[in-house]
Structure 1
Amino acid sequence: MVSTRLLLQLAPVLRLPQATRSITSLAKRGKGGRSSFSGVVATVFGGPGFLGRYVVNRLGRVGSQVVVPYRGDEHDYRYLKPMGDLGQIVFVKYDLRDPESVYKAVKHSNVVINLVGRDYETRNFSFTDVNVNGARTIAEACQAAGVKRLIHFSALNATSDSPSQFLQTKAQGEELVREVFPTATVVRPADTYGHEDRFLHYYASLRVFPFGVIPVMSGADQTTKRPVYVGDIAHAVGSIISDSATAGKTYELAGATEYPLPELIQYIYRVMYRQCTVTPLPRALYRFVSSLMELNPFVPYMTRDIATRLHLSNTPTPGLPGLEDLGVTPTHLEDVAINFIRRYRNFMDFDHPIEETHPNRPS
């Protein structure tokens, strides 16, 4: 073994600091990239999900240490491993109903991000289990562990009187989180699109209906959407973490442009080089068909609650900050939609350019 005297003699050559000569002193520090250490140790609940993978990637690329709790097997999170430097992405098994396992997942972190959520209920977890009880469990664990920052994800239009049970429970979860952890930052994203979304891909997959008929609920012509790009949300999370002034605030993240739902669907099919006819169906009939699709024992393609949310307008609350207040310029759907929708084209039209690049925007 090398003696202490020899290490002291070699210190000027090795450029070791005089105060300490531990291995950790050789590690890079500061925001120099994925091989540096940003000072952030973040636990990301819901990391293996759609939004979670973008948030983990955003944290990993600036040298943050990320703890990703999971409840499945290794195939659910293996694609997250390359998003950070070697050993910077750590995976721990947890159960949302077990406060002790939640506490173990957050006890070494200074930032916790709660992205847990799903569009539909399962046999094991209801909306209340996840959006209300689960949110409270995470907030209580953060309070007990002395976590400095908690970022809780809700949803745009989450209110206690919403026709959607998902949005009702999201509103209840917000209230409980604020009671337990008053300085928590609440984020409410609008309908989100990206490579793995259930928004653009849902409408694109309806191409299987004959004669290009795309069914919507009656009254859909009054619905407007402001979809937000998932990469912008991940960028916003990074801004929230780096700015302590965001603690205790609520941010509503929506896209820059408002689109009437029927015209947005027609734009999607123009990008796909396919014909479509948006056809309103009676609300009762639409919900009846959705109730039958809920019986799918695996992943339901549609439920009554999803149908309700798809036909709710994205209406930000006046006065609440958004993407621009976090230094994020919203991505326009027209600039990136082809990246997500091109695969639904026929092979003969796959390489064609977009003839019409903008849906009809309201005046």
Structure 2
Amino acid sequence: MAFRISHKRLLSDVAITRTGRPLVRVEGGRSSLGGQTATVFGATGQLGRYIVNRLARQGCTVVVPFREEMTKRHLKVTGDLGRVVFMEYDLRNTPSIEASIRHSDVVYNLVGRDYPTKNFSLQDVHIGGTERIAEAVAKYDVDRYIHVSSHSAAIKSPSEFYATKARGEEVARRLFPETTIVRPAPIFGFEDNLLLKLASVLNLFTANNMQEKFWPVHSIDIGAALERILYDDSTIAQTFELYGPKQYSMAEIAGLVDKEIFKKRRHINMPKALLKPIAGMLNKVLWWHTTSADEIEREYIDQVIDPTAKTFSDLGIEPGDIANYTYLYLVSTREEVVDIIKRQVSLPSIARVP
């Protein structure tokens, strides 16, 4: 007992970063000033807003590299005036990456792509992009580098997405050995690619009879975990698997969605040999995304959890069950709610007396 007490960190202890700087954590609040500078690559995606908001509330100055002007506007209000700084960059342009990193104490890499595009392949994003970011982190001796990968990442995976994610992890650890790797399960939340996709009429064709199994995780829980990892130096060079408390199949989640939106969506199951080439062709021909060959491949791969990795419990977080959040994220998709909104929009405006 005496040994454990003597080695327990007290609130009065001063935390020191790898480079010797004191790690200051303030009481928090929109106008607080903590002295840390964080760069968040990929902040314009679904997960980015949760970590940017949390860092800004802790008084951090958050640097948000962006590619397209219209995709980063919502992040402007996640922090007080001057707390969120935007810098235009290109994932293939090393000087722009270095400019976003050189003054930072911590770098988050949330960059990822579910499908290849005409401009970027999965290798370009998950391997090439990671290599340039990790090299810049090492060059400027940044205190912390937190790399967000994916569940089921494996070099020999039949999915190119999972394989390139695993190779990206290897590149990050090779260039910056203190890298903290985070592997989130499929994420649900506002503007997600899970609940809202299943609620959409466009999600018509599926494969594997929707029997893919995984542990869905709440985006807010992931944001909380990413923040705690920053302030806990015992997480350096560790790997975290962050997943929900219960395993579901895609069909079971589709059932929860149908129950919440009061309408049963039709899903037509197609053979993999037929759907995969069609999906690959659509992804190349259409300028908007529908699906891709690799996404069809992933429907046949269940989530694999690394038993040696740390989890939410090591961060003192209890993840939420997706069944408790379906109403929150799907109530606006109910037909009667949509009809009410349409009627309100179509009502003639009342003339105002001057």
TM class, shorter-chain normalised? 0.7 to 0.9
In 1, Cα distance between equivalents of 2:331 and 2:273 = 33
Which residue is equivalent to 1:346?
A: 335
On the 8 A contact 2:282/2:291 being kept in 1, the answer is: yes
Q: Paired residue for 2:319, among 330, 341, 357?
A: 330
Partner deviation per Cα, 1:70-128 (whole Å, 9 max, x = no partner) = 1222x221111111111010011111112111111111100000011121112211111
Q: Are 2:80 and 1:97 equivalent residues in the alignment?
A: no
In 1, Cα distance between equivalents of 2:214 and 2:338 = 28
Which residue is equivalent to 1:48?
A: 44
- Give the secondary structure class of the aligned counterpart of 1:113: strand
- Give the secondary structure class of the aligned counterpart of 1:137: helix
Which residue is equivalent to 1:113?
A: 108
Which residue is equivalent to 1:257?
A: 246
Change (3 A) 1:47 1:348: closer
Q: Paired residue for 1:81, among 59, 76, 81?
A: 76
- Give the secondary structure class of the aligned counterpart of 1:44: strand
On the 8 A contact 1:226/1:257 being kept in 2, the answer is: yes
Q: Are 2:293 and 1:304 equivalent residues in the alignment?
A: yes
Amino acid at match of 2:87: V
Amino acid at match of 2:66: Y
Q: Are 2:235 and 1:246 equivalent residues in the alignment?
A: yes
Amino acid at match of 2:206: V
Which residue is equivalent to 1:174?
A: 169
Q: Are 2:131 and 1:136 equivalent residues in the alignment?
A: yes
Partner deviation per Cα, 1:219-277 (whole Å, 9 max, x = no partner) = 643x2121111111100001100100000000011111101222221121111111246
Percent identity of equivalent pairs: 38
On the 8 A contact 1:266/1:276 being kept in 2, the answer is: no
**For the pair shown, which has the larger CA radius of gyration, 1 or 2?**
1
Segments of 5+ residues of structure 2 without an aligned counterpart are 1-23, 341-354
On the 8 A contact 2:214/2:249 being kept in 1, the answer is: yes
Deviation, 1:34, is 2.1
Which residue is equivalent to 1:69?
A: 65
On the 8 A contact 2:109/2:146 being kept in 1, the answer is: yes
In 2, Cα distance between equivalents of 1:261 and 1:41 = 39
Deviation, 1:298, is 2.4
Deviation, 1:288, is 3.3
On the 8 A contact 1:153/1:188 being kept in 2, the answer is: yes
In 1, Cα distance between equivalents of 2:317 and 2:228 = 8
Deviation, 1:154, is 0.6
In 2, Cα distance between equivalents of 1:47 and 1:279 = 35
Which residue is equivalent to 2:188?
A: 193
Alignment map for 1:119-158 (pairs within 5 Å)? 119-158=114-153
Alignment map for 1:210-249 (pairs within 5 Å)? 215-218=205-208, 220-221=210-211, 223-249=212-238
How many residues align? The count is 317
Change (3 A) 1:323 1:36: same
C-alpha RMSD over aligned residues: 2.1
Partner deviation per Cα, 1:130-156 (whole Å, 9 max, x = no partner) = 100110110010111110000001100
Amino acid at match of 2:292: T
- Give the secondary structure class of the aligned counterpart of 1:312: coil
Deviation, 1:49, is 1.3
TM-score (norm 2): 0.84
Which residue is equivalent to 1:19?
A: none
Q: Are 2:34 and 1:38 equivalent residues in the alignment?
A: yes
Amino acid at match of 2:144: R
TM-score (norm 1): 0.82
